[in-house]
Structures are given as C-alpha cells and as structure tokens.
Amino acid sequence: MTGEPSPSAGDLPPEEFRFLAHQVADWVADYLRDVGDLPVFPDVHPGFLREALPQMPPDEGEPLEEALEDFRRLVVPGITHWNHPSFHGYFAITGSGPGILGEMLAAALNVNAMMWRSSPAATELEEHVLGWLRDMLGLPSPFMGTINDTASHSTLYALAAAREAAAADLSGPGLANGPPLRCYASEEAHSSVDKAVLTLGMGREGIRRLPTNGRLEMDLSALRKAIREDRDRGCIPAAVVATLGTTSTSSVDPMGAIAALCREEGVWLHVDAAYGGPLALLPEFHDLFAGWEHAESIVVNPHKWLFTPVDCSVLFCRRPEMLRAAFSLTPEYLQSRDGDGVTNLMDYGVALGRRFRALKLWFVIRYFGVEGLRARLRDHLAMAGEWVTEVQAEPGWEVMAPCPMATPVFRYAPEGVEGGDADGLNQAIMDRVNRSGVAFLSHTRVRGSLALRLSIGNLKTTRVHLARTWEALKEAATREAARLS
Ligand code: PLP
C-alpha cells in the first residue's frame, strides 16, 4: 500500500485545482463586469445545445480546460442573462459578489446540514443568520426560520403545518375519513399555493380563490363569507394565504384585517412575502406590512430581492413544533444523543439533505449591512416610480395597476386598438424587444388584458439602462403598430 491513490482513482490534484480555480475566478469576475455588453436573451433555437454536444459521455477523462472551453463556447451563448442590468423579466433578481463567494465556499465544503452533528456550524449559522433576518424584518422572536430551496417548498411546508394544526391526527388514517380541509388565497396569489394544496391531498376543491378589489388586493368580505360558508358545509378552514407582493403586479393583500380575521376564526395565516418581504427592512413600508407579525408562517425569498444567489427561500414559523409534527421522522441511523439543545434541520421539511445556504446569506448581510440593503432597495423603488411617471406621460401608453413595489405593469394601447388587438400588439412589442437582446421583459394579464411587466431588482440596473429599454419599447411599439394597421 502506498499513500498515493491509484492512477485510476482520486480527485483533481490540488495544484491543478488551484490553477483552474484561478481561471474560473477570472472568468467570473470578467463576466460580472461585462455581462451588460452581452445580448440579454440568446439567439438560439430549441435543441441548439443538444445538437452540439456529443451523444455519448467520454470513456476516458478529458482535460477540464476542454470542458471550460465548451462552457464558454457552447453554454454561455445559450444563457438568458439574469445578471444583465436590462433583465426585467419575472422577478428580476440578482445575486451579488458576496453571495457568489459564499456559494463557492459552500460548494467546496459540501456539507449536508441535515442534523446538528452532520455539520454543527452549518446548522448554527442558519439559525443565527435567520435570527438576524427576522430582527431586520421586524418580526417577533417566536418566529423560527429555516432555509428551503424555493418559496414553493416553503409554502408547501407551511400549509403542511397548517393542515397538522387544523386536523386532529393525521398520522394514522391520513385525510381519508376526516372532514374536508379548505385553504384560501386571492385570485392573484401564486400558483405555488395551488400546488401545495394539491400535493397535501386537499384536492382541487381544497383551494378557494377569492376575488380582489380594484387594486388587486384580496377582498376581505369575500374571505369572511367563504370561511363561513365552508364551516356551514362541514369543512375545516385550514389556512389563509395572504400575499405581500403578488407575482403579477406586486399588489399587497390587506394584512392587518386578514390577520385579525384569522385570529377571530382560529385559522392559520401564511404570508407569501417571497418577493415583497425584504421591503419590511424599510420603515416607510411598515404600515403596509402591519399585521404580518401575527401570521403563523411567512415566506421571504432572499434569492428574489435580497441579492442572494438562487436558491435561498426562508420560511419563518411561529410554532415550529407544527412543522416538526408534520415532518419529524427519524430512522435509526439518524438517531443522535445530542439532546434537545440542538436543532436538527431535517425535522422541518421533506428533504433530509440540505445545502449550506446560510453561508451566502451571511456574506450578503455582512457585506452590504442593513443600511446598504435599504439603500439598494430604495434605489430600485425610486427607479420603478420614475418608470411609472414616464409611462403615464407618454401618449398611447398606460399603467395597468398600482405599483407598490418595483414592478411597473403597463402597456401600449393607442386609440382605436382594443381587446385582442391590444393584447397581440403588446405581445409583439415584448417579443421584438426580447429578441433584440437589448432588454428582457415578461408579461401578465391584468383583469384579462395582456400587460408588460418591468421588474427592477438587479444591482447593476441604472437609469441609463432603463432609458435604453424605454426607447427600445417605444420603437418596437411604433413598428408593431404600423404592422397592425
Ligand atoms: N410567491 C410569489 C409571490 C412569487 O412571485 C413566486 C415566484 O415568482 C413564488 C411564490 C414561487 O417562488 P419560487 O420560485 O421560489 O418557488
């Protein structure tokens, strides 16, 4: 036996790793500096990459330089650059330098923080940094945070806890013989709520979508009526999902009134603040958020608007024991004698294994500081407000919904263009701009009409970029309107 691995075993040798890591670091630094010069959306056809890649994996290993070269030559040209300062689709998120560095170190450590002893520091950093975040957001101390990959999973887990709290004992018969459970959300709530309800076995009838008012906020009287009706029918109201920052227009459900109703009715309140949550850092948003501190559970995604690379979704739960009731199940090989003083994160969701996601969030909060984060959010809000003013002042263009956060929703509707024609025109304008590579937007429907969304959340976006995008939109509008006529 020698101390060396056999020639066919072992990892990339350390000095080769060092050399390549420097190359990768240089590439990343150049990419982050220059991404604004690339087309936002790639000029590729479906299947382009599959056609370019070998059908079979290599029998023998290849030099990693070749894989890196293919990454640059084949993969990067097919990327939609979310890092681009003119990417405004969906929720225009950025990671950040500190977040990327945290992600790199987490990949290197490659620990699995499923339980305290499987990586004590990873568990404790998650608890600690989420304690910071909770305090930063002004939430009271009973809330315990855990990190999941996405808001979809956070909401699934929250509603599983709600189901646990609502139904007497699910561990034996499951849902089979109990009264039907019902969840409530506005018609503007994210589809992840429906997915969670379906996944949890409450069925399509388990979710009631409620109408909204003129500002696209949940209609409280409709919620009250629905809960009453369901009780009268023998159903159990299990949870209300209120949204702080809806996907379509960033509208905000009336938090205080919903929280009061949930307390009165004894119904679990889950708040989807996946997008809007970080705005609780700003004192000027406290009135809008007032009441969310009474929720049972809240999801906030630092990977949406807190400059943390995907994925990082935080679920705060007032009664974490309800998450444990839903998910704690420990096979023999995971039993430990570490005692009650430690947290085993595997007890708070479906996944056993978990990445060390707290590291990147910790770096982000430390590097920017609370004031730095506030300044960046305010900058995005200011730019969104200016965009709305600009659209309002431009003949033929209209703002389609209030803009309480940083996602203006608007469209081009010159006189005489209505209904399906207006929808088609706006789709064509968006497609033209997206195809040009100058900027990237996505769309929504507001009360049935197609509208464009311009989400501002990228650390690199400036007023110069926005002016360029506005010019591109107006030019596309002129051309597409001419084609229509
Ligand atoms: N909730 C809201 C309000 C969203 O806008 C989204 C996605 O955009 C989600 C939940 C789902 O987020 P995730 O991709 O983290 O599952």
Ligand 1 closest atom vs CA 243: 3
* 254 CA → ligand 1 middle, Å: 19
Q: Report d(CA 106, CA 101) in Å as an integer.
A: 9
How is the beta sheet containing 297-300 ordered, strand by strand? 144-148, 313-317, 297-300, 268-272, 236-243, 181-186, 207-210
Ligand 1, atom 5, lies closest to the CA of 247
Count the Cβ atoms, other than its own, within 10 Å of residue 263.
12
**3-class secondary structure, 141:** coil
In angstroms, the CA 296 to CA 320 distance is: 9
- Tokens 């009474």, located at residue: 294
Quick one: DSSP state of residue 6?
A: P
- pLDDT tens digits for 151-206? 999 999 999 999 999 986 677 777 777 889 999 999 999 999 999 999 999 999 99
Ligand 1 center to 190 CA (angstroms): 7
> Ligand 1: which of 301, 315, 405 to mutate, most ligand atoms within 8 Å of CB?
301
Residue 302 alpha carbon to ligand 1 centre in Å: 11
Tokens of 474: 């107006």
Nearest-angstrom CA–CA distance, 263 and 355:
35
pLDDT at 374: 98
Pocket of ligand 1 (CB under 6 A): 91, 150-152, 190, 192, 243, 245-247, 272, 274-275, 301, 313
Determine the pLDDT at residue 7.
Answer: 61
Predicted local confidence at residue 107, as pLDDT: 97
Amino acid sitting at position 198: L
Cα 120 to middle of ligand 1, angstroms: 30
The CA-based dihedral angle spanning residues 376, 378, 381, 386, taken in that order and rounded to the nearest 10 degrees: -100
Give the separation between CA 105 and CA 323, rounded to whole angstroms. Answer: 29
Could you tell me the distance, in angstroms and rounded to a whole number, from the CA of residue 377 to the centre of ligand 1? Answer: 19
Please give the number of the atom of ligand 1 that sits closest to the Cα of 311: 15
Residue 246 token pair = 């809806």
CA of 42 to the centre of ligand 1 (A): 24
Measured distance CA(139)–CA(134) in Å, rounded:
5
Nearest to 304 by CA among 281, 274, 273, 279: 274
Instruction: Calculate how far, in angstroms, residue 155's C-alpha sits from the geometric centre of ligand 1.
Output: 9
Rounded distance, CA 344 to CA 362, Å?
A: 20
pLDDT at 127: 97
| Torsion angles phi and psi, residue 321, rounded to 5 | -65, -25
pLDDT tens digits, 373-407: 999 999 999 999 999 999 999 999 999 999 999 99
The answer to whether the CB of 336 falls within 8 A of the CB of 115 is: yes
Query: Residue 409 and residue 453: Cα distance in Å, rounded?
Result: 5
3-state secondary structure (DSSP) of residue 87: strand
Q: Is the pTM of this model over 0.85?
A: yes
Question: Which atom, in ligand 1's list, is nearest to the CA of 149?
Answer: 15
pLDDT at residue 72, as a whole number: 96
Which ligand 1 atom is nearest residue 152's CA? 16
Do the Cβ atoms of 40 and 440 come closer than 8 Å? yes
**Low-confidence stretches of the chain (pLDDT beneath 50):** none
Q: pLDDT digits over 25-67, tens only?
A: 999 999 999 999 999 999 999 999 999 999 999 999 999 999 9
Ligand 1 site-directed mutation target among 93, 157, 188, 190, most atoms within 8 Å of CB? 190
Helix, strand, coil % over all residues of the chain, rounded to 5: 50, 10, 40
**CA 2 to centroid of ligand 1, rounded, Å:** 53
Q: What is the pLDDT of residue 3?
A: 66
| Gyration radius of the chain's alpha carbons | 25
Q: Rounded to the nearest 5°, which phi and psi values hold at 238? A: -95, -40
